[in-house]
Structure 1
């Protein structure tokens, strides 16, 4: 009324004073608007048409590791306070765009180019949405951010080939490291197992040899004790035991006559 906001009405039938005393301004509070950065959509549809002009002044942003990323994003918003939207800020849409570019530039500047291009996109969009809403409320724009989406993130066209080559080299490095760890995880446990097996076999063999040696020593002591008691009998018994073990292994047996010094074949035991 006379240039001053006096009331706010919901959709429906209402009356206002005529002759320019009151003027009604319709504000589409249920509509979702969007602002595009780094590109412009001319016609949306099955085959979306985009503006061919270059918007590099919006999309080229400096990352925290002093690289440049070409970032295209979309901000969707609604009008939550018609009074602030109409009267608190001269141009809310322009203010929204300026604040968005400022916030996006700051958030991108805190991240490396690898994060911006790969794993950090969702986190960046959420952080931009949060900080942008805080600034919009601070300036009383009457706008509510519905969502921020990173549409496309690429290195600048001039260095895209070099950047892709670097990424391929990094991926190859990661692949080789992963393969090396895989071989390590396969070889080391196997080698440790073989080493433990060899150690166990050696310990078992050592224990076997010690026991055999101890048994031989005990047997020798027992024989020596018996030998001390009856030397001739023990000597003959040992001789006969040796012959009993040795003779079955011979194919032919010869007896040498000490007087004639000539071999005389005698009994074929196996026959």
Structure 2
């Protein structure tokens, strides 16, 4: 007996108990019958397709049921071809063998019923694109509830959607619509990228200009206030001694202006004419 299985023993057809892996004995001559149940092995059922070489006859879709199982109507009255897989374990061998006739087949019918219900509550766009995870989660919850209600002795571990496509007659048109939507999303993302690139740059330049303007404003205000304060101080000194202040201002002004003059000419006020012969330019050895 495999290590992942238990043996269910029946004596004269009546359930006796479960025997774990190991060395055991049974009464011969058809008194005891043993059924091996893989309780630790994860089993699966496939809907809409079949894995080649599967030993479980209920694992994949039968030839006549493969297309029928996948054809579903969505909540907005569109058609979709839905393929999915359920993974489960046998949690109670006694219930699995004796409570329900053909529990694996019953599980297939219950799974198909639940999936049609869940898909029928959603639009075709949700089924094909954004609603896959919600469909898997809701279908898992409903299937687990049904297995408990029907006493199948089965524990469902996972529901996984596979391929979801529109019917073949409209598949080309649907693909064109999807391509258009993808192109739309692409353009929107590119526009958002450019927006996020340009707007922060413009905001930064705006803030920089504002700071520069504030700095220039403060500079001009401080300069104006300094000039005003200096003028008021000078005016106060002027009121005390007007002649001395005027002369001091004149001398200070000449000290600032005279170094900028390249040539200097001294003229006697009594002369009536000037002979421009003497070179008094500084740096040529002539006196100033």
Q: Establish whether TM, by shorter chain, passes 0.5.
A: yes
Question: Which stretch of the first structure deviates more once superposed, 92-101 or 146-155?
Answer: 146-155
Question: Which stretch of the first structure deviates more once superposed, 253-262 or 231-240?
Answer: 253-262
Q: Which residue of 2 aligns with 1:37?
A: 47
Where in structure 2 are the equivalents of 1:210-225 lying within 5 Å?
Answer: 210-225=221-236
CA contact (8 A) 1:255 1:264 kept: no
Alignment of 1:145 onto 2:145: no
Question: Which stretch of the first structure deviates more once superposed, 60-69 or 128-137?
Answer: 60-69
Q: Deviations over 1:186-245 (max 9, x none)?
A: 444433333333333322322222222223223333333443444444333333333332
Alignment of 1:190 onto 2:196: no
Where in structure 2 are the equivalents of 1:92-111 lying within 5 Å?
Answer: 92-111=103-122
Q: Which residue of 2 aligns with 1:47?
A: none
Using a 3 Å threshold, how does the CA distance of structure 1 residues 153 and 233 change in structure 2: closer, same or farther?
same
SS, match of residue 83 in structure 2: strand
Q: Which residue of 1 aligns with 2:5?
A: none
SS, match of residue 150 in structure 1: strand
Q: Which residue of 2 aligns with 1:204?
A: 215
Aligned equivalent of 1:167, options 163, 178, 185: 178
Aligned equivalent of 1:249, options 241, 260, 263: 260
CA RMSD of aligned residues (A): 4.1
Matches of 1:71 and 1:263 in 2, distance apart?
115
Alignment of 1:70 onto 2:81: yes
Q: Deviations over 1:66-123 (max 9, x none)?
A: 4433211233445555554455444434322221111011122334444433455455
Matches of 2:272 and 2:166 in 1, distance apart?
106
CA contact (8 A) 1:63 1:69 kept: yes
SS, match of residue 153 in structure 1: strand
Identify unmatched segments of 5+ residues in structure 2.
Answer: 1-9, 55-60
TM-score using structure 2 length: 0.68
Alignment of 1:14 onto 2:23: no
Kindly state the Cα deviation for residue 58 of structure 1 after the two structures are TM-superposed.
Answer: 0.8
CA contact (8 A) 2:26 2:32 kept: no
Higher relative contact order (CA closer than 8 Å, sequence separation 6+)? 1
Using a 3 Å threshold, how does the CA distance of structure 1 residues 197 and 85 change in structure 2: closer, same or farther?
closer
SS, match of residue 35 in structure 2: coil
Matches of 1:261 and 1:43 in 2, distance apart?
131
Question: Which stretch of the first structure deviates more once superposed, 163-172 or 5-14?
Answer: 5-14
Q: Deviations over 1:97-152 (max 9, x none)?
A: 22111101112233444443345545533432332232123223344435433332
SS, match of residue 245 in structure 1: helix
Matches of 1:262 and 1:68 in 2, distance apart?
116
Alignment of 1:26 onto 2:38: no
CA contact (8 A) 2:137 2:159 kept: yes
CA contact (8 A) 1:79 1:142 kept: yes
Aligned equivalent of 1:127, options 132, 138, 150: 138
CA contact (8 A) 1:64 1:110 kept: yes
Q: Which residue of 2 aligns with 1:268?
A: 281
